[in-house]
A and B are shown apart, each in its own frame.
Chain A
Amino acid sequence: MTEKKTYAEEYTEKVFKGKIELDVRDSTPDWGPYSPRWHPRMHPTYSISCMMIPGWLPGHPTVAGSICRQRRSSPTTV
């Protein structure tokens, strides 16, 4: 009689693409399901300055400005 698989076994069979034997020497790892989230390459970095004054900071050189409590309509923050 085959015992019902655990959810951990079922899920692992879906995601793990390596090979598992009794001995690690006969097995093949697959780090795919167990790797950290990969950040996108060459993606811009963001910084948002949140000031406690109404109005815009002109000419801020490197960041997109978002002004807290500002009352005028503002452009989309990039």
Chain B
Amino acid sequence: MPAAQKLADNGLIYTQWHTCALCAPTRSTCLTGRNHHVNGFAEIAEGANGFPGYHARIPAQCATIAHILQDAGWSTFWIGKNHNVPEQDNAPGGYKDTWPLQKGFDRFYGFLGGETNQWYPDLVEDNHFIDQPYMPEEGYHLSKDLADQAIRMIRDNKASNPSKPWYMWYCPGANHAPHHCPQDYIDKDKGKFDGGYDAYREWVLKRMIEKGVFPEDTQMTPFNPMPEDQANPLDVVLPWDSLSDDQKKLFSRMAEVWAGASEYADAQIERIIDYLEESGQLENTLVLYAADNGTSGEGSPNGSVNENKFFNGFPDDLAENMTMLDKLGGPDCYNHMPTGWAAAFSTPFKMFKRYSQYSGGTCDPMIISWPKGMKARGEVRHQYHHSVDVAATILDVCGLEMPDTYRGVKQYPMNGVSMAYSFDADPDGPTQRKHQYYEMMGTRGIWEDGWHAAATHAPLTGVGHFDQDRWELYHVAEDRSESTDLADKYPEKLEHLKQLWMDEAKKNLVLPLNDWPAVQVANIERPSTEPPRERYTYYPDTTPVPEGVAANVRGRSYKILADVEVGDNCSGVIFAHGSRFGGHSLFVHDKKLYYVYNFLGIPPQQELVSSEELKPGKYTLGMEFIREKAGQYGESHGKAKLYINDKVVAEGPMRTQTGKFTLCGDGLCVGRDSADAVASEYTPETQGKFTGGTIQYVEVSVEKEQYRDLEREMAAAMAVD
């Protein structure tokens, strides 16, 4: 990690810096200096709900630091991940009042969603969607592209307005899933994780103690600390000793890929740091280098070659995953490492991302470097702080304040405090933080004056009964890893913290608590300016339509019909949505009509091929899926038919996904298949562009009632009583 090391050597490592335990909520706190619920970002944008802390629309009462800096004369740039835009506005025609250019930024280059394919990303430049500038075969990787764009923006600013300061919010797609990485970086860590995650934990804790990150008496916490009646089975860590040789091989490789992806992203940041140094800007640039949550456990206990299975509630299969061993990190995988590594990379804490009650979810790296503004070099700071303090720190350093009223709107006060006092403070000096509440997906915790209370409730379980949650108590000033529960010893302290949590919850719009499973959260009905309809019409030569606003074929019967004029040598995509990791495509190949439904990338791809060739002429080409039942994991099973005019030219059984094709990107297209390809008959490089004919339009009809996994939803609802 060359950039991280360089910055740490030239500045400070904070050992007790915390986040909200999830990406978009943490990012919202960095942007506004208000707690995540106050920003409406109780969780990710895709989990929005109609409650004051959950709507995923940063309100006008929360001006961003970019607004303030822009007005004060800074150039303001946002590079990379956003995820603070409501899902229904992540669309070419969507409202753009939450897009970066309307949130105080002069420029934006990146992706609006929570994650994206690093080889074939979903890109937005300023206020519009764009295709990637070049392809992986030409050396493309998102991490590299983002660094190039960052340097360009700063250089442009330097060239035309050299006296003007700038602010850059730089958010690489790595090391979030998918863990995509150039092969040479994967190879750099070959064999380093073969000892397993238990051995890694022992090694890394010792190393962190040596570096002064943790006190010498820091205790290791157990894997799987959640009680059985609360634990989420998808978050369980399998003991390394219980793994088969194949599992060990697969899991080790997944860790190598994650490490490689992390280092590759860091190496790209190093290029930016080097540019700043060469151009004489580094000395007076305040650099904050941080993570936005604990290590991600969305890979499930077995890891995944396609993370989208997690969001579809569909388990991975070891035999299938083993076939992809040598392809991990490349374009053929959308991989994520197993929970064991998520826990290990959160050593010595309990659990990982999403678990806001434990430091495994919230205590994250933070490095601050500002050569001109601080004397310290290569030191650590143990003052307790939180991501909500970032905005206050930047404004403090710049000599600015958040106004009481911004553009005519009375502002919610900032919740954060400046960390600037700590730059030249004693490493163990007192923090200016008083307390901080935590809440994420029904998990709860609170810190005050060196004590921490944690409710033993796991996220995404649907267990409910929050009033019966058991609370633990830790004296983190002396027990940094939260290893010894003192709840029985100090019941009054615990009661005080529980009451403080409730007080903070009311002040910060935290309630109601929601631990619904992912599929249920994904299917919450949300308002859109385009009301749900049964018929959607799409045309060629348009920007891909993002999944959040595209025709929803999940859990229902549907038809796709296209008016097409076929000429000689006609071929290519008529309609496509998704990617090889989940998606469907209607296309002409070798003069035959194809319909491919790629179910979560599980081979073989489901395929219908016309029995007859298409001769030149005008046709209505299409397919129909008739849903018959739900499968074991809520997926739909039914029959698909392929049509040329009114004649069925192929038919067969088919299963379709209950969840989305992607979290971000690979939108619905007509006349091509943007970004990654759904079907193996064409490649992403050509996008399967339709040639040799004309597509008039494509109509998608969906059954009005969406079949949903009522059993699961009822089980969650019944949990109330």
Contact = CB atoms under 8 A, between A and B. Distances in A.
Interface centre among A21, A22, A38 (most CB of B within 10 A): A22
Contact of B49 (A3, A29, A35): A29
A62 interface: no
Nearest to A26: B720
A35 B509 contact: no
A36 B528 CA distance: 7
B412 A24 contact: no
Given A16-B52, A22-B466, A31-B526, A36 B89 contact: yes
A12 B89 CA distance: 23
Nearest to A28: B50
A19 B508 CA distance: 16
Interface stretch (B365-373, B510-518, B631-639): B510-518
Interface in B704-719: 716-717, 719
A25 B512 CA distance: 9
B680 interface: no
A36 B507 contact: no
Interface residues of B, number: 40
A1 to B, nearest CB: 12
A30 B413 contact: no
A18 B507 contact: no
Contact of B511 (A6, A7, A22, A29): A22
A37 B102 CA distance: 15
Given A26-B720, A27-B51, A27-B512, A7 B413 contact: yes
A25 B511 CA distance: 11
Nearest to A34: B55
Contact of B410 (A7, A30, A34): A7
A11 interface: yes
Contacts of B50: 18, 29-31, 34
Contacts of B57: 34, 36
A25 B464 contact: yes
Nearest to B716: A25
A20 interface: yes
Tell me if A's interface is mostly helix, strand, loop or mixed: loop
B507 A31 contact: no
B55 A25 contact: no
Contact of B55 (A24, A31, A38): A31
A18 B529 contact: no
A78 interface: no
Contacts of B527: 31, 35-36
Interface in B498-523: 503, 506-509, 511-514, 516
B251 to A, nearest CB: 35
Contacts, number: 94
A11 B413 CA distance: 13
B691 interface: no
Interface residues of A, number: 28
A26 B529 contact: no
A50 interface: no
A21 B512 contact: yes
B290 to A, nearest CB: 25
A8 interface: yes
A23 to B, nearest CB: 6
A35 to B, nearest CB: 4
Contacts of B86: 36
B95 A36 contact: yes
A39 interface: yes
Interface centre among A7, A33, A36 (most CB of B within 10 A): A36
B720 A34 contact: no
Interface string B81-106: 00000101100001101000000000
Contacts of B511: 20-22, 27
A34 B524 CA distance: 15
A24 B516 contact: yes
A4 B328 CA distance: 55
A22 B40 CA distance: 17
A24 B49 contact: yes
A50 to B, nearest CB: 19
A6 B719 CA distance: 32
A23 B720 contact: yes
Nearest to A16: B52
B250 to A, nearest CB: 37
A14 to B, nearest CB: 11
B38 interface: yes
Contacts of A16: 51-52
B516 to A, nearest CB: 7
A35 B410 CA distance: 20
Given A23-B720, A26-B720, A36-B89, A8 B464 contact: no
A8 B717 contact: no
A70 B466 CA distance: 69
Interface in B409-436: 410, 412-413
30 contacts: A5-B507, A8-B38, A8-B508, A9-B507, A11-B61, A16-B51, A16-B52, A18-B51, A20-B52, A20-B511, A21-B512, A22-B467, A23-B464, A23-B466, A24-B514, A25-B719, A25-B720, A27-B51, A29-B50, A29-B51, A31-B526, A31-B527, A34-B52, A34-B57, A36-B57, A36-B89, A36-B529, A37-B95, A38-B529, A39-B529
Given A22-B512, A31-B526, A36-B527, 16 more contacts: A3-B503, A6-B412, A7-B61, A8-B38, A8-B61, A8-B412, A8-B509, A12-B509, A23-B467, A23-B720, A29-B51, A34-B52, A36-B94, A36-B97, A36-B528, A39-B529
Interface of B: 38, 40, 49-52, 55, 57, 61, 86, 88-89, 94-95, 97, 410, 412-413, 464-467, 503, 506-509, 511-514, 516, 526-529, 716-717, 719-720
Interface of A: 3, 5-9, 11-12, 16, 18, 20-27, 29-31, 33-39
Q: Report the 4 A-B pairs with minimum CB-CB distance, sorted nearest first.
A: A29-B50, A34-B55, A31-B50, A24-B514
